[in-house]
């Protein structure tokens, strides 16, 4: 079997399965045919129409690709059970015929001649009907949820953040309380006694100078005393 014919047969099987699961309970299933199509010993041209006929009425069509065809005889709401399917390749009658089998997929090489007088169709004996293909079961129920996975390992520590900006200067503090007054200083030492005054006028002048010096000494001692009290 060539690659094209194999792919055609697989396609037909898939098509048959889809149709059988969707409309089996409502209508009869088509009989799918795949194979080569030749006219006068040569492969039919691409896009040549292959027609399946039941009682000379069209039951399905397909087209030729790379010398192979796929066509299904679809009974629709009727029934083809017990009837024979004939074929046309283009406008020429194929020599082969086949008995309809509900839901069957058959590989059948079709040959035709373009001569005005073609040989009588040769009926191919239909094989015994295969056992009915069981329909797919309903989807199973959803499985239980798996156990939670273990916790992942801890991530690495992040890098240190940058230093913050310097804060603004604080307000000036309140002035401190005034300190207590210091104790008074000690009295200064007494000045030395002046020299005795001379007699007469001269002594009077010296007496006056002595009085002035004594006054200056007393004033200095008083100033030192007051300065000591302030400190």
Region 30-51 average pLDDT:
96
Nearest to 39 by CA among 95, 78, 82: 95
Helix (H) or strand (E) holding 208: helix 200-230
Most confident of 17-21, 163-167, 203-207: 163-167
Nearest to 121 by CA among 146, 100, 93: 93
Most confident of 127-131, 132-136, 137-141, 215-219: 215-219
Name the residue with higher pLDDT: 86 or 213: 86
Q: Determine the average pLDDT of the residues in 197-221.
A: 66
**Token pair of 168 as six digits:** 């603004």
pLDDT band of 120, cuts 50, 70, 90: low
pLDDT above 90 (res 151): no
Q: Which long-range contacts (CB under 8 A, 24 or more apart) does 56-64 make?
A: 59/85, 60/30, 64/37, 64/89
Domains delineated in the chain: 3-124 (2.60.40.10), 184-231 (no CATH)
Question: How crowded is the C-beta side of 91, counted as CA atoms within 13 Å?
Answer: 3
């Amino acid at each position: 079997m060539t690659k094209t014919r194999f792919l055609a047969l697989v396609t037909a099987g898939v098509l048959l399965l889809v149709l059988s699961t969707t409309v089996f309970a409502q209508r009869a299933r088509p009989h799918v045919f795949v194979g080569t199509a030749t006219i006068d010993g040569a492969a039919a041209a691409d896009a040549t129409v292959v027609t399946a006929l039941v009682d000379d009425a069209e039951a399905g069509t397909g087209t030729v690709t790379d010398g192979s065809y796929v066509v299904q005889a679809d009974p629709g709401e009727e029934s083809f059970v017990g009837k024979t399917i004939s074929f046309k390749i283009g406008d020429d009658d194929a020599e082969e015929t086949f008995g309809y089998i509900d839901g069957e997929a058959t590989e059948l090489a079709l040959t035709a001649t373009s001569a005005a007088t073609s040989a009588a169709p040769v009926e191919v004996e239909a094989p015994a009907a295969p056992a009915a293909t069981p329909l797919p079961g309903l989807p199973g129920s959803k499985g239980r949820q798996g156990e939670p996975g273990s916790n992942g390992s801890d991530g690495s520590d992040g890098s240190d953040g940058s230093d913050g900006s310097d804060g603004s200067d604080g307000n000036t503090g309140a002035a401190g309380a005034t300190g207590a007054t210091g104790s008074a200083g000690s009295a200064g030492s007494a000045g030395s006694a002046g020299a005795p005054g001379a007699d007469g006028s001269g002594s009077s002048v010296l007496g006056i100078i002595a009085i002035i010096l004594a006054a200056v000494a007393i004033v200095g001692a008083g100033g030192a005393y007051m300065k000591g009290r302030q400190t």
